[in-house]
Amino acid sequence: MACNVTATPAPISKGKGVHGSLLIPAMPNREPEITPSERELQAGHRLAISVIVPVHNGSQVLGRCIEALNSSTYLNFEVIVVDDCSTDTTPQVVERYGMRCIRTSRNMGPGGARNLGSKHATGEILAFIDADVVLPPEGLSLMEEALSRDPKLAAVFGSYDDEPACDTFISQYKNLMHHYVHQSSSELATTFWAGCGAVRKRVFEEVGGFDDAKYTVPSVEDIALGLELTRRGYTIRLDKRLTVKHLKRWTVQSLLRADIFDRAVPWTRMILNSGQVPRDLNLNYASRISSVLVGLLTVLGLSLPVIFACGWRHLLLPAVAAVAVICVVLLFLNWDLYRFFWRKRGLWFAARSVIAHWTYYLYSGITFAVVAAEKLIRPIA
């Protein structure tokens, strides 16, 4: 199976942002006002959708993204590609497909690119699709259906499917993990995913869009937007029917950089600043307990050679037993996930995924501890 390589989209533009939004007190559930266009739904009209695709040096994947949009069964939509000063042939790809394109003056990240695209959008719904994502033909229909059926709903998002385009282990593991987490989470969400998500334009403008001043690279700008929407009383839904194909090729280096510096660090700062921990997606209680257990397992594992070398044989058996118990508990807490890996890709893949998953818990836990210690020393911006 061929791998398609792309940089995570990171175009630009400075929007209003949602600075300080995590400190806004929670408000009762709000029902967005119904616009005249939405009232026309009763007469059989469909809401107009503006699809915004941020891209930076994504020439290898953008064509498939656009082709998928051109194959949509939904008709009332426009596509706005926001090119983040790409240095490859991305502009030529956009031109070849005849897409409307806005080119940024400098690189500020996907949050800024989406904000810029939204300013030029004419639809009542803003659909954000990453350049390395292939939307199914019914994808836009699912978004519009969810938002038109429930007037209290402000945003909806989906997940990756379970058939990623790249067949390397890291790429398969990362994609399947994302799919499992989203598909096993509650449909009533407190966060948002901008890889494939839609939000009512007037609500997006009300909250100031993505915080493109704080998040200038692909990061947690979509999670911050989701938390802001939730705190203002709006409802967000995870539609498990909405699955998209991911074209990105992950490497160990790119995975660690993204997970630690682009996700874990800013996410931890967001949690510490707000004083609240979301309980959906990969921040449920089982995940938090697993992270602590993996940390303890690492300490015990490193202590075994010391115990053996020092001749403390009376401590060796209890330490080994403790390691075994922790491993069993970790397998139990995450058994549904590992069984999912086994069912999808076989026993050998599942075994490697267990190691990769425990490693993820380890560096995520260490990151949280380091950032928390930093907060004790000095305020975190």
pLDDT at 373 over 50: yes
- 44, two tokens: 């059989």
pLDDT value for 27: 45
Tell me the pLDDT tens digit for each residue of 196-254: 999 999 999 999 999 999 998 899 999 999 999 999 999 999 999 999 999 999 999 99
pLDDT at 377 over 60: yes
166 versus 285: which is more confidently predicted? 166
**% pLDDT > 90, the chain:** 71
pLDDT value for 188: 93
pLDDT value for 35: 54
- What is the C-alpha to C-alpha distance for residues 112 and 55, in angstroms, rounded to an integer? 11
- What is the C-alpha to C-alpha distance for residues 154 and 152, in angstroms, rounded to an integer? 6
Burial of 143 (0-12, 13-18, 19+ CB in 10 A): buried
Tell me the pLDDT tens digit for each residue of 290-319: 999 999 999 999 998 988 888 888 888 899
pLDDT value for 284: 74
Q: How confident is the model at residue 174 (pLDDT cuts 50, 70, 90)?
A: very high
Task: Measure Cα distances from 79 to 99, 140, 193, 357 in Å.
Answer: 7, 12, 19, 37
Distance of CA 249 to the CA centre of its chain: 16
User: What counts of helices (H) and strands (E) characterise the chain?
Assistant: 14, 9
Mean pLDDT score of the chain = 87
Q: How confident is the model at residue 274 (pLDDT cuts 50, 70, 90)?
A: confident
Burial of 102 (0-12, 13-18, 19+ CB in 10 A): middle
Q: How confident is the model at residue 348 (pLDDT cuts 50, 70, 90)?
A: very high
Q: How confident is the model at residue 6 (pLDDT cuts 50, 70, 90)?
A: very low
- What is the C-alpha to C-alpha distance for residues 160 and 146, in angstroms, rounded to an integer? 18
- What is the C-alpha to C-alpha distance for residues 338 and 315, in angstroms, rounded to an integer? 32
Tell me the pLDDT tens digit for each residue of 43-99: 357 899 999 999 999 999 999 999 999 999 999 999 999 999 899 999 999 999 999
> 């429930």: which residue's tokens?
150
Q: Which residues contact 99 (CB under 8 A, 6 or more apart)?
A: 66, 79, 80, 81
pLDDT value for 12: 32
Q: How confident is the model at residue 31 (pLDDT cuts 50, 70, 90)?
A: low
Q: Taking residues 157-181, report their average pLDDT.
A: 96
pLDDT at 286 over 90: no
Domain boundaries, the chain: 21-250, 283-377
Q: Taking residues 274-287, report their average pLDDT.
A: 69
Q: Taking residues 2-16, report their average pLDDT.
A: 36
Residue 94 contacts residue 81 (beta carbons within 8 Å): yes
pLDDT value for 29: 55
> 């380890």: which residue's tokens?
362
CATH number of 21-250: 3.90.550.10
> What long-range pairs does 64-71 form, CB within 8 A, spacing at least 24?
64/4, 64/134, 64/247, 65/129, 65/130, 65/131, 65/132, 65/133, 65/134, 65/135, 65/247, 66/93, 66/94, 66/97, 66/99, 67/97, 68/134, 68/135, 68/136, 68/137, 69/129, 69/135, 70/97, 71/137
- 101, two tokens: 């394109």
- What is the C-alpha to C-alpha distance for residues 129 and 244, in angstroms, rounded to an integer? 10
